[in-house]
Amino acid sequence: MNGAENVCGASGEHKVHFEAVEVQAHDSDIGLKYTDSRIDVHLGFLQINRHYEVTFTVQDDLGNDLIFDPLQNLHAKITSYEPTEDGCGHILELEFHAHREKLLQERITIKSDTSADKYRDIVLHARVLGKGKGTPSLRNGIKCLQVDDDNDSDVTDWQGFD
């Protein structure tokens, strides 16, 4: 096989092993793509019902201070920001909630404090794995903060009508 080797354990489990070169070639950093006033931020695979802290650096010309609406998005919120040392962007820290399965996109707009016509739409992209679908390796700059309780439980405290 090219690059991957199947190894079967005694219990019949299948595991795939990759050569070190292939593992190093996998980009473990958050991906950024700039288009006009939009910045697409690719977070990779996340798990459902998890809250993540996401930290990344964007290039922008918005000046030192930013304005953003903390209520613009229920599932993605900027928690802090600071200008980069070279003054050509910002280091953003935000909380991201993976609230549903499949492809998830959340938008946050950041604006210049000094110039009303300068802004960037930040669009966060994530593939969210459902319950029991595996545990992804998180990209650099992403860490899990909280796991929500499982709402799909068959157990209930409700005793019904008397």
* 78-123: pLDDT as tens digits: 999 999 999 999 999 999 999 999 999 999 999 999 998 999 999 9
Task: List, in sequence order, every beta strand (DSSP E) within the chain.
Answer: 4-8, 14-18, 31-35, 38-47, 50-59, 66-67, 76-83, 89-98, 102-112, 119-129, 142-147
* 127 vs 43: CA distance, rounded Å: 8
- Smallest CA-to-CA distance from 42 within 55, 32, 57, 34 is with 32
Long-range contacts, 86-91 (Cβ 8 Å, 24+): 88/59, 88/60, 88/61, 89/57, 89/58, 89/59, 89/60, 90/57, 90/58, 90/60, 90/62, 90/66, 91/55, 91/56, 91/57
Res 60 pLDDT > 90? yes
Burial class from Cβ neighbours inside 10 Å (0-12, 13-18, 19+) for residue 62 reads buried
Q: pTM for the full model? A: 0.75
Helix (H, G, I), strand (E, B) or coil at 151: coil
Domain 28-147, CATH class in plain words: mainly beta
pLDDT single digits (tens) 9-58: 334 444 444 455 444 445 699 999 999 999 999 999 999 999 999 999 99
* 118 vs 111: CA distance, rounded Å: 6
Name the strand (E) or helix (H) holding 20: helix 20-25
Domain ranges of the chain: 28-147
Contacts of 55 (CB under 8 A, 6+ apart): 91, 92, 93, 94, 141, 142
